[in-house]
Structure 1
């Protein structure tokens, strides 16, 4: 890498002032109504002079015109041409290489200033050419040390008349080196919080006391889980709870491998447990390898306390030792 502060390097950069960066190049398509329509719809620009001939003539124009800010769009070559090495302007590559020699390998656009000479109309075929106006001395920026490269883009119609000019400025910068993060112990990830609301808060409150409760209708005495405000059997809003015995069997299960969350160990067994009381709930399994879980397996209540603010019921095989 050349020292960007040497006199020779500075002189080579200054020599670019006034040089042609992109030779005059026509856009791929003439100004046309379909592209104008796409543009104004995307920009939510409802000015009628862009699509309504009558409205445009009412303003003294000969017909519809293209939005001024579209001038760049008419000269864009499209994605395929923009990535082909043989289509890249040689002078632009030469300047890019010179800036890279000084370590200015990153780029960000900073500002653009247009001057419009006349409105474009359908049928106009626009060309673009670009010259370097100046390259600044090295500046210190929040992104890193860099140089502002100012160019002038000139847009012409098919007869060579200028329709617009654009002053365009880029910051070519040397990315600032970030200090290596200090080594420190990463805090353990918290298990995702349950969505607690007035209808289920009682259940999580009981879980924090290591009590597995089931909501019971105060009128018809039917049990229900998940909790809800109204009995699905009789429609009553009255309810109380009973404490489950903590026994049941595996009604169904899945083994989760992905996506992974740092608070869990994988593979993770998620089971649908049917309690002896008849209700079912979704919990994790403990004390068993995923390949050993079976439908109908008898299970007993266990408890998970992942952090001081959360306790959740889990189930382990009835013949497994308590943790």
Structure 2
């Protein structure tokens, strides 16, 4: 029985791209546009006189343009075509889960410079397909090919050893939860949360509890305060079900609630362990701590089991 490895190995030495001519011969306008885009000021690419002064017969194309002369262009590359060896190899690599690609190496050997009027072609042959490798991008295989560029007479102008990594992308780490705006007035609350303690600010003059934290009591305007530890129980006062805009740190739909604590203050939090269909105003809730990372722990709330209330 032919194995997957055998099927991959069968591509070694196979022609991936039959000899194909570029859409246009080498020409001075394209050379000029290329040099302007690349900031290449070498006069041999733009002036016959300058080129002849170096012993050349006239203008020559920059070596870095070699691939550009045989590229089919966007429209041609998106037009359906007969399935060829290249498409077969890509399909086989996709079958193995190697669905992503990145170029890794390009090694050119130039036999002569390309000149205006040259009608260039390219042929590509598979040199090797590596065994499976582990990389920083994911597990994959290096595919090495040899591209041969020829003029209209079939003479070799350049060769290019081209290597790509076809890989299974590693699962991206979950985006970090957005940072809260921590300041001198609320830092104590987040510090307590890191210890999994839910606290409420209290005015030491009139004993009024308040949340969110602030520097001054809204009842008596005193700046003196301390905290009390909340029991972690409350009821659902209000909620919204958020679908947009999505943020990669959250699962959607996202349940955002106003919870009224047994102590009487309210806080905005996320709900867990429940779906939107099961929510009901006034339902009993209890705290569940989310350790987002080493610096951030937050209180979420979940429904209290029926036997617990």
> What TM-score do the two structures reach when normalised by structure 2?
0.57
Q: Partners in 1 of 2:72 and 2:87 — Cα distance?
A: 17
Query: Do residues 12 (structure 1) and 27 (structure 2) align?
Result: no
Q: Partners in 1 of 2:36 and 2:52 — Cα distance?
A: 21
**Which 5+ residue runs of structure 1 have no aligned equivalent?**
1-5, 192-208, 211-259, 263-323
- Output one character per residue of 1:156-198: Cα deviation in whole Å (capped at 9) or x when no partner: 000000000000000000112345568x6x544589xxxxxxx
Q: 1:58 to 1:143 in 2, by over 3 A?
A: same
Aligned with 1:76 (options 71, 74, 88): 71
Q: Partners in 2 of 1:114 and 1:74 — Cα distance?
A: 15
Query: 1:49, CA displacement in angstroms?
Result: 0.7
Mark the structure with the bigger radius of gyration. 1
Query: 1:114, CA displacement in angstroms?
Result: 0.3
Query: 1:52, CA displacement in angstroms?
Result: 0.9
CA RMSD of aligned residues (A): 2.6
- Output one character per residue of 1:249-308: Cα deviation in whole Å (capped at 9) or x when no partner: xxxxxxxxxxx9x9xxxxxxxxxxxxxxxxxxxxxxxxxxxxxxxxxxxxxxxxxxxxxx
Query: Do residues 47 (structure 1) and 42 (structure 2) align?
Result: yes
Secondary structure in 2 matching 1:115: strand
Aligned with 1:57 (options 52, 60, 73): 52
Query: Do residues 133 (structure 1) and 127 (structure 2) align?
Result: yes
Q: Runs (4+) of structure 1 moved beyond 3 Å?
A: 178-182, 186-191
Q: 1:43 to 1:187 in 2, by over 3 A?
A: closer
Q: Partners in 2 of 1:163 and 1:90 — Cα distance?
A: 25
Secondary structure in 2 matching 1:70: helix
Secondary structure in 2 matching 1:121: coil
- Output one character per residue of 1:52-106: Cα deviation in whole Å (capped at 9) or x when no partner: 11111111111111111111111011100011121x6611110001001111001
CA contact (8 A) 1:150 1:170 kept: yes
Query: Which position in structure 2 is the counterpart of 1:93?
Result: 87
Query: Do residues 163 (structure 1) and 157 (structure 2) align?
Result: yes
Aligned with 1:119 (options 113, 129, 136): 113
Q: Partners in 1 of 2:172 and 2:39 — Cα distance?
A: 41
Secondary structure in 2 matching 1:85: coil
Q: Partners in 1 of 2:168 and 2:89 — Cα distance?
A: 15
**Which 5+ residue runs of structure 2 have no aligned equivalent?**
184-214, 217-244, 248-309
> What TM-score do the two structures reach when normalised by structure 1?
0.54
